[in-house]
Amino acid sequence: MIEIKTERLVVKKIRNSDKERLVTLLGNSEVLKTLSNVPHPYTINDAEKWLEIVNRHEFKLNIFLDDNLIGGVGLSLDEDEFYELGYWLGVDYWGQGYATEAVRGLLDCAITKLQSPKIKANVYKGNTASENVLEKNGFKKVGEGEVFSLSRQETIPCVKLILE
Protein backbone atom coordinates (compact mmCIF):
# COMPACT_ATOMS: atom_id res chain seq x y z
CA MET A 1 0.00 0.00 0.00
CA ILE A 2 1.32 3.42 -0.97
CA GLU A 3 2.15 5.95 1.73
CA ILE A 4 3.91 9.11 0.57
CA LYS A 5 5.54 11.40 3.10
CA THR A 6 6.26 14.97 2.07
CA GLU A 7 7.65 17.81 4.15
CA ARG A 8 4.34 18.47 5.94
CA LEU A 9 1.89 15.83 4.69
CA VAL A 10 1.21 12.14 4.40
CA VAL A 11 -0.58 10.95 1.27
CA LYS A 12 -2.19 7.57 1.84
CA LYS A 13 -5.40 5.55 1.74
CA ILE A 14 -8.33 6.94 3.65
CA ARG A 15 -9.49 5.01 6.70
CA ASN A 16 -13.01 3.97 7.61
CA SER A 17 -12.76 6.28 10.64
CA ASP A 18 -12.32 9.27 8.26
CA LYS A 19 -15.76 8.97 6.62
CA GLU A 20 -17.47 11.69 8.70
CA ARG A 21 -14.57 14.08 8.11
CA LEU A 22 -14.74 13.36 4.37
CA VAL A 23 -18.46 14.20 4.34
CA THR A 24 -17.80 17.45 6.23
CA LEU A 25 -14.97 18.55 3.93
CA LEU A 26 -16.77 17.67 0.69
CA GLY A 27 -20.03 19.11 1.99
CA ASN A 28 -18.62 22.61 1.58
CA SER A 29 -20.06 24.28 -1.53
CA GLU A 30 -16.79 26.16 -2.17
CA VAL A 31 -14.96 22.83 -2.48
CA LEU A 32 -17.71 21.17 -4.49
CA LYS A 33 -17.87 23.89 -7.11
CA THR A 34 -14.27 23.06 -8.15
CA LEU A 35 -14.85 19.29 -8.56
CA SER A 36 -16.41 17.38 -11.42
CA ASN A 37 -17.09 13.89 -10.03
CA VAL A 38 -18.48 14.59 -6.56
CA PRO A 39 -22.25 14.63 -5.94
CA HIS A 40 -24.07 17.31 -3.98
CA PRO A 41 -25.08 16.86 -1.26
CA TYR A 42 -22.21 14.56 -0.30
CA THR A 43 -23.46 11.91 2.11
CA ILE A 44 -22.06 9.16 4.33
CA ASN A 45 -23.27 6.73 1.64
CA ASP A 46 -21.07 8.55 -0.90
CA ALA A 47 -18.13 8.32 1.51
CA GLU A 48 -18.66 4.57 1.88
CA LYS A 49 -18.70 4.15 -1.92
CA TRP A 50 -15.51 6.22 -2.11
CA LEU A 51 -13.77 3.91 0.38
CA GLU A 52 -14.69 0.93 -1.82
CA ILE A 53 -13.27 2.67 -4.91
CA VAL A 54 -10.11 3.74 -3.10
CA ASN A 55 -9.42 0.20 -1.97
CA ARG A 56 -9.54 -1.04 -5.57
CA HIS A 57 -7.17 1.58 -7.05
CA GLU A 58 -3.53 2.00 -6.09
CA PHE A 59 -3.27 5.71 -6.88
CA LYS A 60 -6.52 7.02 -5.33
CA LEU A 61 -5.24 8.54 -2.11
CA ASN A 62 -6.06 11.16 0.48
CA ILE A 63 -4.06 13.95 2.05
CA PHE A 64 -3.40 14.06 5.79
CA LEU A 65 -1.89 16.84 7.91
CA ASP A 66 -0.97 15.80 11.46
CA ASP A 67 -3.03 12.62 10.87
CA ASN A 68 -6.16 14.67 10.01
CA LEU A 69 -7.82 14.27 6.61
CA ILE A 70 -7.56 17.54 4.65
CA GLY A 71 -8.08 16.48 1.02
CA GLY A 72 -7.57 13.98 -1.74
CA VAL A 73 -5.27 13.34 -4.69
CA GLY A 74 -5.24 10.59 -7.25
CA LEU A 75 -4.59 9.25 -10.71
CA SER A 76 -7.10 7.37 -12.87
CA LEU A 77 -6.18 5.61 -16.10
CA ASP A 78 -8.33 7.02 -18.89
CA GLU A 79 -9.37 5.41 -22.19
CA ASP A 80 -6.74 7.44 -24.04
CA GLU A 81 -3.95 5.74 -22.00
CA PHE A 82 -3.27 8.96 -20.06
CA TYR A 83 -3.57 8.99 -16.30
CA GLU A 84 -5.84 11.82 -15.22
CA LEU A 85 -4.77 13.70 -12.10
CA GLY A 86 -7.39 14.94 -9.69
CA TYR A 87 -7.05 16.63 -6.31
CA TRP A 88 -8.95 18.69 -3.79
CA LEU A 89 -8.50 20.27 -0.37
CA GLY A 90 -10.90 21.31 2.34
CA VAL A 91 -11.44 25.07 2.10
CA ASP A 92 -9.60 25.77 5.39
CA TYR A 93 -6.42 24.42 3.78
CA TRP A 94 -6.45 26.48 0.58
CA GLY A 95 -3.60 28.86 -0.19
CA GLN A 96 -0.98 27.16 2.01
CA GLY A 97 0.86 25.09 -0.60
CA TYR A 98 -0.65 21.77 0.49
CA ALA A 99 -2.10 20.91 -2.93
CA THR A 100 1.20 21.64 -4.68
CA GLU A 101 3.07 19.52 -2.13
CA ALA A 102 0.64 16.58 -2.28
CA VAL A 103 0.54 16.59 -6.09
CA ARG A 104 4.34 16.68 -6.25
CA GLY A 105 4.58 13.74 -3.86
CA LEU A 106 2.06 11.68 -5.82
CA LEU A 107 3.68 12.48 -9.18
CA ASP A 108 7.17 11.55 -7.91
CA CYS A 109 5.83 8.22 -6.68
CA ALA A 110 3.73 7.50 -9.79
CA ILE A 111 6.51 8.34 -12.24
CA THR A 112 8.77 5.85 -10.49
CA LYS A 113 6.18 3.07 -10.07
CA LEU A 114 4.49 3.48 -13.47
CA GLN A 115 7.70 4.05 -15.48
CA SER A 116 7.07 7.47 -17.07
CA PRO A 117 3.29 7.52 -17.47
CA LYS A 118 1.47 10.11 -19.57
CA ILE A 119 -0.46 12.35 -17.17
CA LYS A 120 -3.14 14.94 -17.88
CA ALA A 121 -5.45 17.19 -15.87
CA ASN A 122 -8.46 19.43 -16.40
CA VAL A 123 -9.14 22.62 -14.48
CA TYR A 124 -12.32 24.68 -14.60
CA LYS A 125 -11.68 27.88 -16.50
CA GLY A 126 -11.05 30.66 -13.98
CA ASN A 127 -9.72 28.35 -11.25
CA THR A 128 -6.29 30.01 -11.32
CA ALA A 129 -5.23 28.56 -7.96
CA SER A 130 -5.62 25.02 -9.29
CA GLU A 131 -3.95 25.93 -12.58
CA ASN A 132 -0.99 27.30 -10.60
CA VAL A 133 -0.69 24.03 -8.65
CA LEU A 134 -0.41 22.14 -11.93
CA GLU A 135 2.03 24.56 -13.54
CA LYS A 136 4.29 24.46 -10.45
CA ASN A 137 4.36 20.68 -10.92
CA GLY A 138 5.40 20.80 -14.59
CA PHE A 139 2.05 20.77 -16.41
CA LYS A 140 1.57 22.81 -19.60
CA LYS A 141 -1.68 24.05 -21.13
CA VAL A 142 -2.61 22.18 -24.29
CA GLY A 143 -6.12 23.41 -25.00
CA GLU A 144 -9.61 24.00 -23.75
CA GLY A 145 -12.69 21.83 -23.48
CA GLU A 146 -15.66 21.08 -21.28
CA VAL A 147 -16.25 18.81 -18.29
CA PHE A 148 -19.57 17.74 -16.80
CA SER A 149 -19.88 18.70 -13.13
CA LEU A 150 -21.87 16.17 -11.12
CA SER A 151 -22.40 18.59 -8.23
CA ARG A 152 -23.51 21.47 -10.46
CA GLN A 153 -25.33 19.24 -12.96
CA GLU A 154 -23.96 21.24 -15.89
CA THR A 155 -21.11 21.30 -18.36
CA ILE A 156 -18.28 23.64 -17.34
CA PRO A 157 -15.57 25.10 -19.63
CA CYS A 158 -12.11 23.85 -18.68
CA VAL A 159 -8.42 24.19 -19.45
CA LYS A 160 -6.62 20.97 -20.46
CA LEU A 161 -3.04 20.41 -19.30
CA ILE A 162 -0.45 17.65 -19.64
CA LEU A 163 2.66 16.87 -17.65
CA GLU A 164 5.82 17.53 -19.62
Position 1 confidence tier, pLDDT thresholds 50, 70, 90: confident
How distant is the alpha carbon of residue 57 from its chain centre? 14
Q: Which of 3, 10, 2 is nearest to 98 (CA)?
A: 10
How distant is the alpha carbon of residue 8 from its chain centre? 17
Per-residue model confidence as pLDDT tens digits over 80-117: 999 999 999 999 999 999 999 999 999 999 999 997 78
Residue 12 clears pLDDT 90, i.e. is over it = yes
* Mean pLDDT for the stretch of residues 8-31: 96
Beta strands in 1-153 (DSSP E): 3-5, 9-12, 60-65, 68-77, 83-89, 119-124, 139-149
Residue 80 makes CB contacts below 8 A (sequence gap 6+) with none
